[in-house]
């Protein structure tokens, strides 16, 4: 009996391995779960926190070139849209509201980028749904690829130093609208935004 009491319990040596193995399997299950239930068409934004690529593109209405650098020192909201995009229609009135809300602030610019669209259709769309801000045309898709855009609508918030602070995939509606206005644009304009 004394001998038996002194010997190590048989399970004690394995327990460490069991825990390690369980942790590895659990980790893999979590990874697979995330992979299976995540949106397969979602591309994580990689440009947030980096300098916004320069843009030079024709204005949708006037015969002039518009460049992003001319807005340096201002908060720029860059919205990619198209006349054939259904979700763009959902957010359009909110974009007009954003422009109306900050129109008096000289440090705010809302710039629309017309994506994979025809010029006349884009103009018709704006005539039908209303317009109160400037739009440029992404003629060869260079701007949208430079910004890693893969669908519309997509919206970028660029700070006074030309850094991309936020990328919104999908329409600016509901909580997204509130977040964009109250948590992104206003703090940047007031100088109370925290570094991302």
Partner 1 sequence: MMKHWILISFLLVFFTSLATAETLTEDQLQVRVKEVAKTLRCAVCQSESVWESNAELAIQMRDIIRERLSQGQSPDEIRAYFVSRYGDFILLQPRAFVGMNWLLWGGPFLLLIVGGTFLFRTLRKWVAQTAPSPPEELSPIDERGRRRIEQELRSLESDK
Which residues of this chain interact with partner 1, rule CB under 8 A? 10, 13-14, 17-18, 20-21, 24-25, 28, 31, 40-41, 43-47, 116, 140-142, 144-148, 150-151
User: What phi, psi does 102 have (nearest 5°)?
Assistant: -110, 10
Residue 3 CB partners (closer than 8 Å, separation 6+)? none
CB of 19 to partner 1, least distance (A): 11
Query: Cβ closer to partner 1: 31 or 103?
Result: 31
Query: Cβ closer to partner 1: 120 or 175?
Result: 120
Query: Cβ closer to partner 1: 82 or 98?
Result: 82
Query: Cβ closer to partner 1: 169 or 193?
Result: 169
CB of 68 to partner 1, least distance (A): 16
150, 116 Cβ separation under 8 angstroms: no
CB of 53 to partner 1, least distance (A): 8
Helices 86-102 and 119-129, axial angle in degrees (round to 10) = 60
| DSSP-assigned letters across all residues of 13-61 | HHHHHHHHHHHHHHHHHHHHHHHHHS-TT------TTSBPPP-EEEBSS
């Amino acid at each position: 009996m004394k001998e038996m009491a002194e010997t190590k319990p048989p399970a004690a040596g394995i327990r460490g391995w069991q825990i390690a193995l369980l942790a590895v399997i659990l980790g893999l299950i979590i990874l697979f779960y995330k992979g299976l239930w995540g949106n397969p068409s979602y591309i994580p934004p990689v440009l947030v926190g980096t300098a916004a690529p320069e843009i030079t593109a024709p204005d949708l209405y006037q015969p002039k070139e518009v460049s992003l650098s001319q807005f340096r020192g201002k908060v720029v909201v860059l919205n990619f849209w198209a006349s054939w995009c259904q979700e763009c229609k959902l957010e359009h009135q909110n974009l007009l509201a954003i422009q109306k809300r900050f129109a008096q602030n000289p440090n705010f610019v809302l710039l629309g980028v017309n994506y994979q669209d025809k010029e006349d259709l884009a103009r018709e769309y704006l005539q039908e749904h209303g317009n109160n801000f400037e739009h440029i045309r992404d003629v060869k898709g260079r701007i949208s690829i430079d910004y890693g855009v893969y669908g519309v609508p997509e919206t970028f918030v660029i700070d006074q130093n030309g850094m991309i602070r936020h990328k919104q995939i999908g329409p600016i509606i509901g909580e997204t609208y509130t977040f964009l206005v109250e948590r992104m644009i206003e703090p940047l304009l007031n100088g109370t935004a925290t570094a991302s």
